[in-house]
């Protein structure tokens, strides 16, 4: 059956009329923040504790926008008679987001889960050089990375959360030890300023005060 002349135009006008009768919804950005899905490719965060400086992300990046500097350190043997070993120490990790095309290859190839997507997107700069985020800035983006959903109610805790909690517990323990040492030093200083303790402080009974005799004194009539 041959199409009716002008049917395509009629369909287009019908769509236009239906759209014109609907209420317009405008997102009042930036007063109203958009609701983005958790897997939005906004910015890349670095979890430095997991990075082993394997350089896979920098080699696989098609834009060559990842810059990594490192050096080797010798680690003493863990047990007597053991062999020394060397490990890579991260000196610099930077991503130039003015070159990044947000393909996510660096996150996919990282074998130790050191890079993560964050849905944050408000990091525009007036100077293009400020779009090169060093590792301190990349570390700050980690706080905006959404937690991965558990596969089932009995699933293990995500590795990145467990590592972050372990680091926080270690810092809290160090701060508590420093506070305890400071308190002991303050108590020792107060004891030195107070001088020698009395018999009461040593646990003995206090001596009774001397009282004059109530009877007549010798030589008195």
Q: What is the pLDDT of residues 2-56, one digit of tens each?
A: 777 878 888 888 888 888 888 878 888 888 888 888 789 999 999 999 999 999 9
Residue 219 above 60 pLDDT?
Answer: no
- Give the C-alpha separation, 194 to 188, whole Å: 10
* 3 state SS of 54: coil
Residue 218 above 90 pLDDT?
Answer: no
pLDDT at 160: 72
pLDDT at 150: 67
- Give the C-alpha separation, 25 to 16, whole Å: 16
pLDDT at 221: 42
- From the list 54, 41, 159, 63, the residue with the least C-alpha distance to 109 is 54
pLDDT at 162: 81
Residue 179 above 80 pLDDT?
Answer: yes
Q: What is the pLDDT of residues 48-87, one digit of tens each?
A: 999 999 999 999 999 999 999 999 998 888 788 888 888 8
- Give the C-alpha separation, 109 to 57, whole Å: 6
Q: Which of 155-159, 178-182, 213-217 has the highest mean pLDDT?
A: 178-182
When pLDDT is averaged across residues 212-221 and rounded to a whole number, the result is 51
Lookup: tokens for 78: 């863990």
Longest dimension (CA), the chain: 156
Q: What is the pLDDT of residues 119-167, one digit of tens each?
A: 999 999 999 999 999 999 999 999 999 887 766 777 777 777 788 888 8
Residue-wise burial string across 145-183, b where 16 or more C-beta atoms lie within 10 A, e elsewhere:
beeeeeeeeeeeeeebeeeeeeeeeeeeeeeeeeeeeee
- From the list 107, 93, 118, the residue with the least C-alpha distance to 60 is 107
The residue among 220 and 137 whose pLDDT is bigger is 137
Residue 215 above 80 pLDDT?
Answer: no
């Amino acid at each position: 059956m041959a199409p009716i002349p002008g049917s395509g135009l009629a369909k287009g006008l019908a769509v236009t009329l239906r759209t014109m009768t609907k209420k317009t919804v405008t997102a009042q950005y930036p007063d109203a923040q958009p609701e983005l899905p958790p897997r939005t490719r906004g910015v890349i965060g670095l979890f430095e504790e997991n990075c082993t400086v394997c350089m896979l992300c920098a080699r696989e990046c098609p834009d060559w926008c990842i810059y990594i500097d490192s050096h080797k350190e010798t680690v003493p043997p863990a047990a007597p008679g053991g062999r020394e070993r060397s490990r890579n120490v991260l000196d610099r990790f930077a991503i130039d987001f003015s070159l990044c095309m947000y393909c996510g290859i660096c996150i996919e190839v990282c074998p130790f889960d050191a890079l993560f997507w964050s849905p944050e997107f408000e990091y525009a700069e007036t100077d293009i050089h400020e779009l090169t985020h060093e590792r301190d800035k990349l570390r700050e983006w980690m706080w905006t990375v959404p937690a991965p959903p558990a596969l089932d109610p009995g699933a293990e805790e995500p590795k990145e959360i467990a590592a972050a909690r372990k680091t926080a517990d270690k810092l809290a323990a160090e701060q508590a030890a420093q506070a305890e040492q400071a308190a002991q030093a303050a108590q020792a200083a107060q004891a030195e300023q107070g001088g020698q303790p009395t018999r009461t402080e040593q646990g003995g009974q206090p001596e009774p005060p001397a009282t004059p005799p109530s009877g007549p004194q010798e030589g008195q009539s």
